[in-house]
Each structure stands twice: as structure tokens, then as C-alpha cells.
Amino acid sequence: QVTLRESGPALVKPTQTLTLTCTFSGFSLSTSGMCVSWIRQPPGKALEWLARIEWDDDKYYSTSLKTRLTISKDTSKNQVVLTMTNMDPVDTATYYCARGLEGVGGWLDPWGQGTLVTVSS
């Protein structure tokens, strides 16, 4: 059974850097073709894809956010970490991680339960 779980601070101040961790089980990011993506959803709004890291350490970022995002993996811990710099109240959202497959870009299954991050002073 594949599961993912997001963790990180519930509250960050404007201008701070957010660090989120996705801890997963049931698959390995050292397996050919495996990927993990981060997606966010502001309250009452649509899903927005943020970043993806692949088994071979290839990385892809949202063009609108790429200057603020860094994605990395720790294969031994089954974890993927996303950092987002210079946080702003508009970044308030539920942040999800999801398993993906290389070469099948839109396939995201399953998703973690999400973690709500509020940006406020």
C-alpha cells in the first residue's frame, strides 16, 4: 500500500522560508520511473502544481514559482523536501505531495492528506 504524508509548520511569517517534508511508504524513489510532486491549493481555490523530483534526481518547477522553490530527496529516508522562500500571505494554502511516474506527467496517485500552511505575521 502506497501512502504519503506531508509535514511542516502550520504558521509561517511573511518573508520566512517554508520547509515541507513528504514522507512516503510503499515505493522507493530509487526505483526507475518513480517521482514525487508537490501541489498546493489556497482555501476555496484550484489546485496548483509546484514541483516534481524524479528517481534520477531530475527536477521540474512551476515556471511562475521556480525562483522560490527547491525540491530535494533523501532516498534512504523515503522523504522529499520542498522549500519555498520569501513566503507571502497569498501562499496560504494546503500543500499536498503525490506519487508520480516519469513520462506520465499528469498521473498523480495517491495523494497525501495535505498540510495547511498559513502565512501571517
Partner 1 sequence: QSVLTQPPSASGTPGQRVTISCSGSSSNIGTNFLYWYQQLPGTAPKLLISRNNQRPSGVPDRFSGSKSGTSASLAISGLRSEDEADYYCAAWDDSLTGVVFGGGTKLTVL
* CA atoms lying within 13 Å on the CB side of residue 98: 20
* C-alpha to C-alpha distances, 92 to 57, 72, 98, 102, 110, nearest whole angstrom: 28, 22, 19, 29, 23
Judged by CB under 8 A, does residue 24 bind partner 1? no
> In angstroms, rounded to a whole number, what is the distance separating the alpha carbons of residues 112 and 114?
5
Number of residues interacting with partner 1: please give it, by CB under 8 A.
23
- Report the residue number, 16 or 62, with the smaller CB distance to partner 1: 62
* Residue pair 73/81 in contact by the 8 Å Cβ criterion: yes
> Considering the rule CB under 8 A, would residue 47 count as an interface residue with partner 1?
yes
Residue 66-95 contact track with partner 1, rule CB under 8 A, x = bound: ------------------------------
How far apart are the C-alpha atoms of 111 and 84, rounded to whole Å? Answer: 20
Q: Does 62 bind partner 1 (CB under 8 A)?
A: yes
Mask for 92-111, x = binds partner 1 (CB under 8 A): ----x-------xxxxxxxx
Kindly list the residues in this chain that would bind partner 1 in the complex (CB under 8 A): 37, 39, 46-49, 52, 60-63, 96, 104-114
